[in-house]
Amino acid sequence: MESINQEILERSNQELRARGKKGLVVIVDNLDRVDPRAKTTERSQPEYLFIDRGDQLRKLNCHVVYTLPLSLMFSNEIETLKNRLGGGVAVKVLPMVPVQFRDGSDCEEGIALLRQMVLARAFPGVNPQLRLSLIAEVFDSPKTLDRLCRISGGHVRNLLGILYSCLRAEDPPLSRNCVENAIRDSRDSLVPAIIDDEWNLLRQVVQQKSVSGEADYRTLLRSLFVFEYQDSQGRWFGINPVLAEAHKLQP
């Protein structure tokens, strides 16, 4: 660690400050994908890395941003994690882009952002306002694009996954039928993995908008059955909209 600080980071900071910058920031990405299996008989891999070794991760002589597995937010040692890795500062959670509010009504701001994200891939050099006038070149109607945005639950990777499934099936403008087929395929890939106890947990999330405990996290969030959101009242949880339309969750 001393060699890295002295030979690499200290020199980098000096050169950056000489150029009028404040210093070096290192972003260590993809650590949220660390294998959750046990490193020892008592500790999972994320706990071993970020809690047991958290002090070492803070010793780099620069500002460092680590991405962490979300499971640690539901661990009994979340306070230890904050003290060892964050210096007492709360860990920041990046929630989904909201497509609806707690009461189920549409979040127009979130849907608008997702519209632009999709259209920017088709028209990267076009003014955002002008892109909206080009929807007909990509989808058969604005409602089809909005359907795609809503069913994603604000999960960007899921949205793009459904979109790419559509593009493999037909050329733009994409039809509503094509989008619905891709949504059905996405749902059919999730439903067989859900057992009866998990359906009961999902019904609780629909009613209570909450998830508690590391076991529930592993079951629901890690499997992308449930997404986390934040608003002025704090965090809340919503079922993946693809699953919300499954027969087992219908009244």
Q: What is the DSSP string of 157-208?
A: HHHHHHHHHHHHH-PSSBPHHHHHHHHHHHHHHHGGG--HHHHHHHHHHHHH
Number of domains in the chain: 3
In a domain, 92, yes or no: no
Residues 197 and 177 reside in one and the same domain: no
Length of the chain: 251
Q: Which of 49-63, 74-88, 179-193, 233-247 has the highest mean pLDDT?
A: 179-193
Residues 147 and 205 in one domain: no
Copy the structure tokens of residue 160. Answer: 């793009």
Q: Is residue 226 part of a domain?
A: yes
**Contact predicate 234/182, CB 8 Å:** no
| 145 in the same domain as 114 | yes
Given 50, 85, 120, the domain boundary residue is: 85
Domain boundaries, position 236:
193-249
User: Are both 187 and 212 inside the same structural domain?
Assistant: no
Looking at the DSSP bridge assignments, the partners of residue 27 are 65
Please tell me the predicted confidence (pLDDT) of residue 87.
67
Of 70, 85, 100, the position where a domain reaches its end is 85
Same structural domain, 229 and 217: yes
How much is the pTM? 0.73
Instruction: Tell me whether residue 102 is in a domain.
Output: no
Same domain, 131 and 172: yes
**Percent of the chain scoring above 70 in pLDDT:** 88
- Say if residue 139 is in the same domain as residue 183: yes
Look at residue 62 in the predicted model and tell me its pLDDT: 82
